[in-house]
Amino acid sequence: MKKLYIETYGCQMNVNDTEVVFSIMAKHGYERTEDISEADVIMANTCSIRDNAEQRIWGRIDYFNTFRKAKPELVVGILGCMAERLKDALLDTGKVNVVAGPDAYRSLPTLLEAVQEGHPQINVELSREETYGDISPVRIDRNGVSAFISIMRGCNNVCSYCVVPYTRGAERSRDYHTIVREACECVEKGYKEVTLLGQNVDSYKYEDVNFAGLLAMVAQISPELRVRFSTSHPKDISDEVIDTMAAWPNICHHIHLPVQSGNDRILEKMRRRYTREWYLERVARIRQAMPDCGITTDAIVGFCSETEEEFRDTLSIFEEVGYDAAFMFNYSERPGTLASRNYPDDIPLEVKTRRLNELIALQNSLSLESNRRDVGKTFEVLVEGPSKKDPSELCGRTGSNKMCVWKDSQHKAGDYTTVRVLDCTSATLLCELA
Ligand code: SAH
Ligand code: SF4
Ligand code: F3S
């Protein structure tokens, strides 16, 4: 057996893709190693979402090449979104032997064979059909409790700032039979939680099954299996999905609903195709059906031409919704996107960073407020394992996706238990067994 080492960057879909790659490669004589120094093949599954994500990878490529001294036969590979975006430019560096885009992983064994004959190889063809539906991913997660299942690939939305439609290609949904089969396999292997992944899960459609239908099918597999999903698009999240979540006790009450901006002119320029009012109505509908639903978001500050006043609208929508958590970013221009072709990236870095820090400070106080509202309440949590800070404590999440820690010597990873919240930080609920 040859040894394959893969580092994964970017979103959860990339994590799941790495699992698919390990599965494909295992059938062709490659076993996984977590020790880079013993690897015959070193790969990075990469992300292009922001410039700094790509900069990190360049540093890693140089690092991977330091292992060639001891092992001249070493193969260095680049997978994922950066492979798709930069294509031959990666081979031209002379530091990379194989480049494979997100739809080309089935060809990896063949590419590697050809590389061994001394020729760099590339396959960055995008597909309209590939979903890797028949492949059982080799799970690389740490806890053995929670698994990712990709339900679709690509994206058809073309938000003006976003590189994903170019790196991942057209949207396609995976056959629900294979999704349900994979979720059943997870249950058989002892997993207690699955997260259904797609860039826009609400547009899932396979034959006559939509996302609400799929959610119910997966929830039905076992009442012991928690079902999560990501990401919902505010323009597409339907009443049917919200009501399905409310109806099934094992579908977790958490929605990641990226707002991006609170200002209608900026939303329009981002091509998000909803307004502030529409977004707030969706939040109200979610809270009406599930008052305990965790709502988290993503936002971009300093998008092309964003004024101070328009940025204030992002602050105010954060306050109005009162998010439980958020990922916040400086706008990063991505070559080839609609925004890069049509609008100058004209907000100075200092201004972006000042706005970002202001938004982060606001969100920290909102997260703390949200956690304080939970003090005194009890929650069912799924144990993920020992807490990182204190091995005598366990950690696990509420349905709303809040991290809890508590002293416990009775339970283990994969158990359900009930905890009472005694205190909190902005990131964690500090609990005791209830
Ligand atoms: N499909 C998901 C988002 C995937 S990318 C959705 O539509 O919500 C994850 C997040 O990265 C986005 O929500 C956005 O906030 C951020 N992002 C995407 N492109 C970006 C860019 N060019 N600059 C800064 N942040 C970006
Ligand atoms: Fe990018 Fe928009 Fe698609 Fe999300 S929905 S992946 S932000 S184009
Ligand atoms: Fe990054 Fe590609 Fe995911 S750009 S966020 S790895 S879809």
pLDDT recorded at residue 174: 98
Tabulate helix, strand, coil % of the chain (nearest 5). Answer: 40, 25, 40
Residue identifier of the C-alpha nearest atom 7 of ligand 3: 164
Q: What is the pLDDT of residues 43-56, one digit of tens each?
A: 999 999 999 999 99
For residue 382, give the nearest of 421, 429, 419, 414 by alpha carbon. Answer: 414
Residue 260 CA: nearest ligand 1 atom is: 15
Alpha carbon distance, N-terminus to C-terminus of the chain: 49
Residue 330 CA: nearest ligand 1 atom is: 24
pLDDT recorded at residue 419: 98
Output the CA–CA distances (angstroms, integers) from residue 222 to 141, 180, 216, 237, 319, in the order listed. Answer: 21, 11, 11, 25, 37
For residue 142, pLDDT beyond 90 = no
Q: What is the pLDDT of residues 282-309, one digit of tens each?
A: 999 999 999 999 999 999 999 999 999 9
Ligand 3: which of 50, 78, 164 to mutate, most ligand atoms within 8 Å of CB? Answer: 164
Whole-prediction pTM: 0.97
Q: What is the pLDDT of residues 221-271, one digit of tens each?
A: 999 999 999 999 999 999 999 999 999 999 999 999 999 999 999 999 999
Ligand 3: which of 12, 13, 166, 197 to mutate, most ligand atoms within 8 Å of CB? Answer: 13
**What is the rounded average pLDDT of the residues 11-32?**
97
Q: What is the pLDDT of residues 54-102, one digit of tens each?
A: 999 999 999 999 999 999 999 999 999 999 999 999 999 999 999 999 9
pLDDT recorded at residue 141: 73
Q: What is the pLDDT of residues 318-348, one digit of tens each?
A: 999 999 999 999 999 999 999 999 999 999 9
Ligand 3: which of 21, 46, 81, 84 to mutate, most ligand atoms within 8 Å of CB? Answer: 81
pLDDT recorded at residue 301: 98
- Categorize the per-residue pLDDT at 143 as very low, low, confident or very high, splitting at 50, 70 and 90: confident
pLDDT recorded at residue 411: 97
For residue 258 and ligand 1, the question of a CB distance below 6 A is answered with yes
Report the pocket of ligand 3 as residue ranges, CB < 6 Å. 10-11, 13-14, 47-49, 80-81, 163-164, 167-168
pLDDT recorded at residue 150: 98
Q: Which two tokens mark 310?
A: 């328009």
